[in-house]
Amino acid sequence: MKSKKLISSIKIVCIFFACSLLAIFTNLFPHYYALLNTPDNHHFSGQASWFDPWDINVYVATVAWGQNHGVFAENMYDSKPNQPIVYYPLYTLAGNIFKNTNPFIVFYGLSIITSFFLVLVIVKILMRFFINKTVILFSTLITLFAGGFGFLVYPHHDSLDSSMTSFTLHSALQRPHEGVAITLLILALTSFYLTMEAADKKQQITYGVFSIVSLLFTLSFYPYYLISYALICGALVIFKTKDRSHQQALIFGASLFLGVILVLLLQHNLSLNGCLLYTSP
């Protein structure tokens, strides 16, 4: 019995590392390839992203800001002095910690850490619904890469995959802050589902609190995720008529109330710097 559990644990660890390393390789290999193949008399810029390279420059610049100015950021694209506020705190904090490291290396290091975090959560959640390790493996791969690989044949073949985020979670793997946000959103939604499924009131409270905490951290990156959370979890509350408790509805109401409060606080934070008021942190 113990040997079977050990073999099962080893399989899960192998699935986790195999999927994580594949995701990290797919994300970072273009940069490494471009570095090795930089033409003579040319300078490698630090990235060769196949999706949204201009935003990557903004994130890396924010890391550099943190290295030189601290965790509160100004609008670097305005020539006038403006109020430093909490803006991309993941990057400014990382820059402030690793002050003497190339900001591109800091950014890529963060993407590796958050990719491991994302895959870990996906695998752990799938383990709650599936026993078969093959199903868990392919479900993880489908979740990560189901959008397709059409970008590999661009521009020779006009594929939808080349005109959108390259594959399902490519953007989350590429951008550390999005990786953290989507991982926490998955945790928040899954925890709320478990809240609705739990018969024991203590379990409902445990899962509910975890869902609310995950949601609040998610909203600190992407406030509009509150709409997705409200619609999905609201549907669960409305359509689960059997064995639904007042406590479950109360947890849902508390999550929305606290979420709205946090969104308003984030909006106030942006209002302190008029240059950044209409952008997302």
Q: Given this model, what pLDDT does residue 164 score?
A: 55
| Contacts (Cβ under 8 Å, ≥6 apart) of 85 | 72, 73, 269, 270, 272, 273, 276
- Interval 91-113: pLDDT, tens: 999 999 999 999 999 999 999 99
- Provide the whole-model pTM: 0.87
113, with CB counted inside 10 A (0-12, 13-18, 19+), is: middle
Q: Residue 107 carries which side chain, given as an amino acid letter?
A: F
- Interval 187-214: pLDDT, tens: 999 999 999 998 888 999 999 999 999 9
With contact defined as beta carbons under 8 Å apart, do 47 and 53 qualify? yes
